[in-house]
Each structure stands twice: as C-alpha cells, then as structure tokens.
C-alpha cells in the first residue's frame, strides 16, 4: 500500500513563502494606489519589499525544493508518478475556488465600473474582468481559465496573477522528471547527461523553469549534507544582504529579463540556505505565526486582487481619491490587508480540505501499484 512520506516538514520555509505572498500583495497595492511612492522606493535598496515578480521567483525555487525533497528521500518511482498525477488537480482546486470570488463580485457589482474608478495609474486593474463587470457571459471564460486554460495554455486574461500557474505546473513536471533520473539506476555519465538535457530544455523553453531546476538541486544537496552544515552569522549576513540587493533590482528595458530572473533565482536559493542552516534564523522562522502565514500564502496570492479591485477601489471612489494622499493609502492598507487575510484564511481551509481529498485519491490509486524502491543516492 502506498503511504504518505514521513519526511519531516521544513516549517521554516513556510514563513518565507508567506512573506513572499505578502510582498506580492503589498507590491500590487502600492503600485495601484500609490504609484509615486512605488517609483521612489524602486530607486532604493528597499524595493525588495514591493518586488512581486522577484517574490514569485522565490515561490518557484521553493516549489522545486519542496516537490523534489520527499520523492528524493523515498526513492520510489511510484511516488514520483503519483505526485505528478495529482499536481494539476491539487493546484486547480483552490484556483477554481478563488475564481468564484471574482464571479460573485461580477454578479453582485462588487467592482466599481471603469468610469467610477478615479485612479488612473497605468497598471491599475479596476475590475478583475477587464472592465466587463456586468457581462455575465464572462463566467464561462473565468472558470475555463481557472480550471485548465491558465495551466496548460498560459492564459491569464481574467485574473492577472494566474500567469504563474502555467510555469508552476510545467516546473513541477520538470522537477519530477529530474528526480526520476536521480532515482533510476543509470551509469553516472548517462545520468548526468540526462539531467543536463532536461535542465537545458526546460530553461530554454522558459527561464522560469530554471527556478525549479535550482530548487530541485538544492533539495538533493540538502538531503546529502544538511547535517553537516551550520551557517554562522558572519556568513549569513552578507549572503542575505547580497540576495536582498538582487531582489531590489527593478525590471526595466535596460535590464535583461533572463539575467534578472537567473539572478533572482540564485538569490532565492541563498535565502533558503540561510533559513535552513542558520540556527537563530531557522528557529525564528519556525514560530507559529510564520507557519500560519505559510499555510495561507497560496490563498493570499490568489485572493488579494479581488480585495484590491473591490473594497480598496470602492474606498477610493467614496473618498473621491483621484490621486490617493499618503493619509488615504496608508490608512487603507491595513484595512485591505485585514480583509485579504480573512478571505485567504477561508480559502486556506478549503485548500487544505481539497489537498486532503487529492492525497486520499492518490493514496488509493497507489494501493493498486506496488511501490518499487530504486537507486538510493549515497550520502
């Protein structure tokens, strides 16, 4: 019978994941309601606090690490196959559930119409359905995009944040494929060639897939050497400083996107190393608040635009804030954050229920397949 892995969960990564989701939310908030402030911060080393695209790269690297770690430890081809089979439904459940918030907002006019929105910033999305909040014909398109279109075709027409789901799914499959190569008995040279080929093909197809390659490699090294590594403060401090400096680089026409993503990828790997191997930081990240924030991270990512495009947009309309003053956007931020986290908590409960159902189905499927242990990497 296929059983869940007993691999201990690395709770310190949950806090980082939650912080990354908070950066995405905060970046979208200030880019839409305080663009002037965002522009000024973008010129300082503090831009990592608002750099949502860099936070998504961190998500991808952590996904490669977490997805690869358990199959690498269990060394079962069956485990890898079942993990790959359940990946799409596991992601699609909360994405479809979050789309119901947007559909509800459309049906009940929770989004102000275009002429009612007084903010005119270039990237502002006043209503998540691109200005057609009264067109119920969009419901089919929203559901199709959430269920399959964003995952397999890269669609993000109705919900901007779903662009990452395409790369998340492909990156998961790439990580599982590389883990399978690690686990099957092949000559070392052939194994290296297969891994290099997968990494190159994936990275050429999309630079974001390189994030999963780096995350998977980190998981392999962690399983081998974690007990031997202890990072002192004098080593952790400059690593964190360099990583955050890279996260503070703003994307622009003068910056090569591929090089920027690769820099953010290795900066993400560096932050993960600090979280794993510096005792003080590791213990601090294991606090219950960090664990809860990590559990809510995916839900925060999926739901925050709904709140920005409904509650916060309406607040600006009511306050007649064509250009929100510091008093307005600073006071609206905690209120917006509170609503985001309340709704995200509800979505998190559904997500955890859904994951339990998906896992139960996967374990039932595994009962018909006898797990076969294969090559065990030498530690």
DSSP labels for 42-98? TTSGGGGGT-HHHHHHHHHHHHHHHHHHHHHHHTBHHHHHHHHHHHHHHHHHHHHHH
Q: Let me know: does 220 contact 183? Beta carbons within 8 Å.
A: no
Number of domains in the chain: 1
Q: Regarding predicted confidence, which is higher, 136 or 146?
A: 146
Encoded tokens for 156: 């993000």
- Nearest CA to 31 out of 327, 338, 342, 305 is that of 305
Is residue 161, in this structure, part of any structural domain at all?
Answer: yes
Q: Is the pLDDT of residue 101 over 70?
A: yes
pTM: 0.89
Confidence of residue 155 (pLDDT cuts 50, 70, 90): confident
Is residue 300, in this structure, part of any structural domain at all?
Answer: yes
Kind and range of the H or E element at 219? Answer: helix 209-225
Tell me the three state secondary structure of residue 373: strand
Q: Is the pLDDT of residue 5 over 60?
A: no
Is residue 374, in this structure, part of any structural domain at all?
Answer: no
Which range marks the domain in which residue 348 is found?
12-366
Is residue 120, in this structure, part of any structural domain at all?
Answer: yes
Residue range 307-316: mean pLDDT, rounded: 86
Q: Let me know: does 133 contact 314? Beta carbons within 8 Å.
A: no
Q: Is the pLDDT of residue 312 over 80?
A: yes
What local confidence, expressed as pLDDT, does residue 274 receive?
95
Is residue 7, in this structure, part of any structural domain at all?
Answer: no
What local confidence, expressed as pLDDT, does residue 128 receive?
38
Q: Regarding predicted confidence, which is higher, 16 or 8?
A: 16
Confidence of residue 373 (pLDDT cuts 50, 70, 90): very low
Residue range 265-294: mean pLDDT, rounded: 93
R_g over Cα of the chain: 21
What local confidence, expressed as pLDDT, does residue 116 receive?
58
Is residue 377, in this structure, part of any structural domain at all?
Answer: no
Is residue 373, in this structure, part of any structural domain at all?
Answer: no
Is residue 350, in this structure, part of any structural domain at all?
Answer: yes
Confidence of residue 114 (pLDDT cuts 50, 70, 90): low
Encoded tokens for 270: 């560096």
Give me the percent of the chain exceeding a pLDDT of 90: 55
């Amino acid at each position: 019978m296929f059983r869940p892995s007993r691999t201990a969960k690395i709770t310190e990564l949950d806090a980082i994941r939650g912080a990354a989701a908070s950066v995405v939310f905060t970046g979208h908030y200030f880019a839409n309601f305080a663009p002037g402030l965002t522009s000024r911060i973008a010129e300082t080393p503090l831009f990592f606090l608002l750099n949502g695209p860099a936070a998504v790269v961190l998500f991808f690297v952590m996904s490669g690490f977490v997805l690869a770690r358990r199959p690498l430890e269990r060394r079962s081809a069956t485990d890898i196959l079942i993990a790959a089979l359940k990946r799409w439904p596991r992601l699609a459940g909360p994405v479809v559930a979050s789309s119901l918030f947007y559909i509800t907002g459309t049906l009940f006019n929770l989004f102000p119409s275009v002429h009612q929105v007084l903010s005119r910033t270039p990237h502002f999305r006043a209503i998540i359905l691109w200005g057609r909040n009264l067109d119920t014909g969009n419901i089919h398109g929203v559901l199709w995009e959430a269920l399959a279109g964003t995952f397999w075709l890269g669609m993000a027409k109705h919900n901007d944040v779903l662009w990452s789901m395409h790369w998340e799914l492909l990156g998961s499959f790439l990580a599982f494929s590389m883990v399978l190569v690690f686990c099957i008995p092949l000559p070392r040279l052939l194994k290296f060639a297969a891994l290099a080929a997968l990494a190159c093909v994936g990275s050429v197809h999309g630079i974001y897939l390189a994030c999963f390659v780096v995350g998977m490699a980190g998981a392999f090294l962690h399983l081998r050497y974690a007990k031997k590594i202890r990072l002192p403060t004098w080593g952790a401090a400059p690593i964190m400083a360099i990583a955050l400096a890279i996260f503070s680089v703003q994307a622009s026409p003068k910056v090569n996107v591929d090089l920027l993503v690769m820099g953010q990828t290795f900066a993400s790997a560096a932050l993960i190393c600090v979280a794993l191997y510096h005792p003080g930081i590791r213990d601090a990240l294991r606090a219950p608040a960090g664990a809860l924030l990590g559990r809510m991270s995916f839900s925060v990512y999926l739901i925050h635009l709904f709140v920005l495009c409904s509650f916060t947009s309406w607040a600006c309309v009511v306050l007649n804030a064509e250009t929100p003053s510091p008093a307005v956007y600073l006071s609206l931020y905690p209120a917006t954050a509170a609503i985001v986290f309340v709704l995200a908590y509800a979505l998190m409960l559904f997500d955890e229920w859904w994951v339990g159902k998906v896992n139960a189905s996967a374990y039932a499927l595994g009962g018909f397949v006898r797990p076969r242990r294969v090559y065990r990497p030498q530690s």
